[in-house]
Amino acid sequence: MVSPIRLLLADDQALVRGALAALLALEPDLLVVAEVGRADDVVAAAVGNHADVCLLDIEMPGSSEVPDGIAAAAALRRDAPGVRSLMVTTFGRPGYLRRALEAGASGFVVKDTPAPELADAVRRVHAGLRVVDPLLAGESLAGGANPLTEREAEVLRVALDGVPVARIAERVHLSAGTVRNYLSSAIGKTGTATRVEAARLARDRGWI
């Protein structure tokens, strides 16, 4: 008898995790072995429960080292390379797709994917294939690459909250002058007028 594919579900909404677990449990070759609600719990849970595939939400809480699902995919690639990751998210933003694949995710689908298609995506990822929502793939190619540097993206994530430059500087451990330079560059690249506008546009495009 072939062993089932062992799954870890990572999503900060318990109802979503429960719904995914119930749907995937209907498949005889899939077995949910663990559920977590934080990005920084993914690697330990995956290793501890011998997961084969991790289904990761993008926007879930974590630590400064592993702040979201995309960072969790990167941590899996680094610390548990035998475990594959499949992003399953409400936010089908082309920029998220690019970032997830660059982080090492093997697939990217949206949460309203029909259950049989989601199960098939899990099987294909487990088999070593890449699975990407075709509409998002087209939008990602049309939208071009993320123009922001890693540091610019970092300061914009903090700027989303509308906090002063001094507070941003404290949180990213840079001088206020350096933060202003990064913000000015990001504003120019996004064609916006303020740092909050730049941050919101970058978020909406999935760049941060």
Mean pLDDT of 61-70: 91
Do 69 and 98 form a contact (C-beta atoms < 8 A)? no
Residues 6+ apart with CB under 8 A from 64: none
% the chain with pLDDT above 90? 58
pLDDT of residue 144 exceeding 80: no
Report the pLDDT value the prediction gives residue 10, as an integer from 0 to 100. Answer: 97
Name the residue among 44, 107, 40 with its Cα closest to residue 69.
40
Question: What is the value of pTM for the model shown?
Answer: 0.70
Domain 150-204 is in which class? mainly alpha
Give CA–CA dist 117/173, Å, rounded. 44
Report the pLDDT value the prediction gives residue 137, as an integer from 0 to 100. Answer: 61
Q: Assign residue 20 a region: left if phi > 0, alpha if psi is -120 to 50, beta otherwise?
A: alpha
53 bridge partner residues? 7, 84
DSSP codes of every residue in 51-116? -SEEEE-SS----SSS-SHHHHHHHHHHH-TTSEEEEEES---HHHHHHHHHHT-SEEEETTS-HH
For the chain, the domains span 5-142, 150-204
Residues 6+ apart with CB under 8 A from 72: 10, 39, 40, 42, 43, 54, 56, 62, 66, 85
pLDDT digits (tens, 9 = 90+) for 150-165: 889 889 989 988 889 9
* Mean pLDDT taken over the chain: 89
Do 33 and 6 form a contact (C-beta atoms < 8 A)? yes
143 falls in which pLDDT band (50, 70, 90)? low
pLDDT of residue 125 exceeding 90: yes
CB-neighbour burial class of residue 60 (10 A; exposed 0-12, middle 13-18, buried 19+): buried
Give CA–CA dist 101/122, Å, rounded. 16
The one-letter amino acid code at 154 reads E
% the chain with pLDDT above 70? 93
**Tokens representing residue 82 in the block:** 């035998």
pLDDT digits (tens, 9 = 90+) for 170-179: 989 999 999 9
pLDDT of residue 42 exceeding 50: yes
Domain 5-142 is in which class? alpha beta
142 falls in which pLDDT band (50, 70, 90)? very low
